[in-house]
Amino acid sequence: MTRLLVTGASGLLGANLALLAQNLGYEVLGWTNSRPLVDAPFTTRAVDFGNPQDLALAFEAAEPDALINCAAQANVDAAEKQPEHAFRVNAEAAGELAKLAGSASVPMIHISTDAVFDGTKGDYKETDTPNPLNTYAQSKLAGEHAVAQANPEAAIARVVFYGWSLTGTRSLAEFFYNNLTAGKPVNGFTDMFFSPLYAAHLAEALLEMLQKRLSGIYHVYAPESLSKYDFGVRLAQEFGLDASLIRPISALDSDLPTRRSLNLSMNTDKLQAALGKPLPSQTEGLRALHADLDSGLRQKLLSFTH
């Protein structure tokens, strides 16, 4: 049985990944930070990436066969206010973890972001030059460099995703679902494009990447991109909700506190070739999101912190 260390296990991706891996027969050790998981079906431990010594001791104690680093300061506005903390968690700690994994010959995937690009071009390939626009994105790019330098065998997965979270409010899908089911009008950006995967589909792709021992940068996205407005409309259609509650607006006319990239449509050819199959479409992702709501996944994740 593979002993898989998932950092950020109280986060949107980490919780979904840990649960899926557990269900697939992995022995999962989930690291959290400020939010303990009271009822998770896998072993957990609180490890603060602010403390390099704790990180090293916890890694030694974990004795993992494989590692997926989902932990991050992933709140874009908070990162802008506390850049040192963002660089510590997203860059320095990621590099330290990569070094520890490399020294122990533990295969590792480090999670990065589409936001390393400035969003002026779209259809971004792994070979395109990043140009991050805000502190969060700069710290994530620094994390990529730290990981690649410390451990050239590690894989770096640039991602964007949606799903059901422990708080019930973390993802864009939950934003649309929660508001539309309550009959509340919301804004949807017509000029902000992305290529999101459903979290469980992303988790499956990451586990396949581990099995294939991929290293270097990979774009792990849905093969089609869409605007955030269109995503909301497609979600409304999937769940039988009122799409007319979504107001189409330009992101340029909104009062977002932190500068964000507009066209983050991504090219996934490299990963699809490596995996030898297509990544799931938007329709497949939204259907799986719906099926997982019906099968009780959302309630299960919510129960982890209550």
- Interacting residues toward ligand NAP by CB under 6 A: 8-14, 32-35, 47-50, 70-74, 89, 111, 113-114, 140, 159-161, 170
Our CB check for ligand NAP shows the closer of 55 and 214 to be 55
Nearer to ligand NAP, 37 or 246 (CB): 37
Q: Minimum Å distance from CB 148 to ligand NAP?
A: 15
Q: Which of 26, 124, 136, 198 is catalytic?
A: 136
Does the annotation count 136 as an active-site position? Answer: yes
Q: How far is the CB of 183 from ligand NAP (least distance, A)?
A: 26
- Residue 208, class by beta-carbon neighbours within 10 Å (0-12 exposed, 13-18 middle, 19+ buried)? middle
CB of 291: closest distance to ligand NAP in angstroms?
20
Provide, rounded to whole angstroms, the least separation between the CB of residue 135 and ligand NAP. Answer: 12
Neighbours of 80 (CB within 10 A): 15
| Cβ distance to ligand NAP smaller for residue 123 or 242 | 123
Shortest distance, position 228 Cβ to ligand NAP, whole Å: 11
Distance CA 204, CA 296 (A): 19
Q: Which residue is nearest to ligand NAP (CB)?
A: 11
Helix (H) or strand (E) holding 96: helix 93-103
The span from the CA of 40 to the CA of 20, in Å, is 12
- Using CA atoms, how far apart are residues 239 and 79, in angstroms rounded to an integer? 33
Q: State which residue, 72 or 150, has the beta carbon closest to ligand NAP.
A: 72
The beta strand positions in the chain, using DSSP E, are: 3-7, 27-32, 43-46, 66-69, 108-113, 155-159, 161-162, 186-189, 193-194, 197-198, 216-220, 226-227, 246-249
Q: Report the residue number, 149 or 185, with the smaller CB distance to ligand NAP.
A: 149
By annotation, the residues acting in catalysis are 136
